[in-house]
């Protein structure tokens, strides 16, 4: 079953194979609609709202949006990361055999959703897991990871410090590294989000899905989704990311024609603070696979998160809403939907990537 794990092998069939493997272990999360959000997004922005932006002075666009929200915030461990983690561990079992994987265990370093996802996948499949977390991680995330039975080892917070601790544990245990995003089997796992949402869309509409937009952090989700849709040119794939303190590394990289290798940002979209990985960059920078990446401001993320919480009544983390924020505020995108979609407009699937927040974090954002 060993495969050539290059960007060339990232095909829709690889995603389908991943889906067959992980289906018993993950939720088929709902694809929700919300007429209120459709209507808000389909109302032109006021000229005043454009003041001080790149779009100042333009006539506001008049797009028509029908949204389909793929609710990975309702996925196991509260984020799409469960898909990739289960797939990576199941593939290790296939490739190296149960005995080897169970005796060596798996290891990663993460302070976020990948930590909990790998802990859950490993405990479900009865494999030891070592998770290196910065000691400044929030106690709820540490508790969440431990609750899935993983051994949590603390490190400093820089990547050099984390990797040193990983190397130390690996020297002792020979545990197999499962990286969070820049890794073939993780990308195929995250791509199953696309397969499911396409099926669910077809169950309720005989139309064509015009576009899919996902958040871009390390890029595993976006690259996986773009891989799945790569042989369906009618469905455009886009990414979205925060612009704060240079978090829009992917957008800037695409402009410059070269991947941005490091990012240092404290954007509120804390799942999107990392630069795009090398393998993911190969997919995302391929114009035939990903048409473009939009960047949104902190205020736009907050305003969008408020709309989703208050009007749609669904709990999302800030990272989850950057795609919707682009639809609401990016006049280039809105103009394109107006021009290409015309009166009919566009059917747009948006991946709500995760919902791991707390009432305290919400309080802090909005007080």
State which of residues 99, 231, 310, 343 lies at the interface with a copy of itself (CB under 8 A): 310
Q: For residue 300, which of 135, 13, 89, 53 has the smallest C-alpha distance?
A: 53
Distance of CA 272 to the CA centre of its chain: 8
Minimum distance, C-beta of residue 185 to a copy of itself, in the bound complex (Å): 26
Q: Is 271 in the site for a copy of itself (CB under 8 A)?
A: no
C-alpha 185/C-alpha 179 separation (Å) is 10
Q: Is 314 in the site for a copy of itself (CB under 8 A)?
A: yes
State which of residues 7, 93, 164, 362 lies at the interface with a copy of itself (CB under 8 A): 362
Minimum distance, C-beta of residue 36 to a copy of itself, in the bound complex (Å): 10
Q: Is 232 in the site for a copy of itself (CB under 8 A)?
A: no
42, 70, 81, 319: the active-site residue: 81
**Cβ atoms of residues 316 and 270 within 8 Å:** no
Q: Per-residue string for binding with a copy of itself, 59-88, x by CB under 8 A?
A: --------------xx---x----------
Q: Is residue 81 annotated as a catalytic residue, yes or no?
A: yes
Which residues, including other chains, have CB under 8 Å from residue 222's CB and lie 6 or more apart? 214, 215, 216, 237, 239, 280, 283, 284, 290
Please give the residues from 78 up to 137 whose contact with a copy of itself meets the rule CB under 8 A. Answer: 78
C-alpha 238/C-alpha 189 separation (Å) is 19
State which of residues 58, 309, 332, 335 lies at the interface with a copy of itself (CB under 8 A): 309
Q: Is 366 in the site for a copy of itself (CB under 8 A)?
A: yes
**Cβ atoms of residues 76 and 16 within 8 Å:** no
Q: Taken in order 354, 360, 361, 364, is the CA torsion positive or negative? A: positive
Q: Is 178 in the site for a copy of itself (CB under 8 A)?
A: no
Q: For residue 249, which of 285, 224, 225, 214 has the smallest C-alpha distance?
A: 285
State which of residues 104, 306, 332, 335 lies at the interface with a copy of itself (CB under 8 A): 306
Active-site residue set = 81, 111
Residue numbers at the binding site for a copy of itself (CB under 8 A): 30, 73-74, 78, 305-306, 309-310, 313-316, 355, 357-360, 362-363, 365-367
């Amino acid at each position: 079953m060993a495969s050539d794990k290059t960007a060339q092998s990232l095909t829709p069939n690889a995603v389908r194979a991943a889906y067959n493997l992980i289906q018993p272990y993950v939720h088929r999360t709902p694809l929700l609609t919300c007429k209120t959000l459709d209507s808000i997004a389909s109302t032109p922005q006021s000229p005043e709202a454009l003041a001080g932006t790149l779009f100042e002075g333009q006539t506001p666009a008049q797009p028509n949006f029908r949204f389909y929200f793929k609710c990975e915030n309702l996925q196991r461990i509260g984020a799409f990361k469960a898909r990739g983690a289960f797939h990576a561990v199941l593939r290790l079992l296939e490739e190296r055999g149960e005995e080897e994987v169970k005796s060596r265990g798996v290891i990663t370093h993460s302070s976020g959703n990948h930590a909990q996802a790998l802990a859950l996948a490993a405990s479900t499949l009865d494999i030891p897991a070592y998770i290196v977390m910065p000691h400044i991680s929030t106690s709820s995330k540490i508790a969440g990871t431990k609750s899935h039975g993983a051994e949590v080892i603390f490190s400093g917070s820089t990547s050099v410090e984390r990797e040193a601790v990983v190397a130390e544990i690996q020297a002792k245990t020979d545990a197999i590294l499962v990286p969070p995003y820049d890794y073939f089997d993780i990308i195929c796992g995250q791509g199953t989000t696309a397969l499911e949402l396409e099926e669910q869309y077809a169950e309720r509409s005989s139309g064509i899905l015009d576009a899919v937009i996902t958040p871009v952090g390390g890029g595993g989700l976006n690259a996986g989704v773009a891989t799945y849709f790569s042989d369906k040119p009618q469905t455009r794939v886009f990414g979205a990311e925060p612009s704060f303190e240079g978090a829009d590394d992917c957008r800037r990289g695409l402009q410059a024609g070269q991947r941005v290798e490091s990012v240092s940002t404290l954007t509120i979209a804390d799942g999107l603070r990392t630069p795009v990985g090398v393998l993911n960059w190969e997919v995302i920078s391929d114009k035939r696979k990903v048409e473009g990446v939009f960047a949104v401001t902190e205020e736009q993320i907050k305003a969008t998160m408020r709309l989703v919480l208050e009007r749609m009544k669904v709990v999302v983390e800030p990272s989850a809403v950057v795609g919707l924020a682009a639809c609401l505020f990016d006049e280039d995108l809105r103009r394109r939907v107006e021009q290409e979609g015309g009166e009919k407009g566009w059917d747009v699937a948006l991946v709500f990537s995760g919902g791991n927040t707390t009432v305290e974090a919400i309080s802090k954002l909005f007080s």
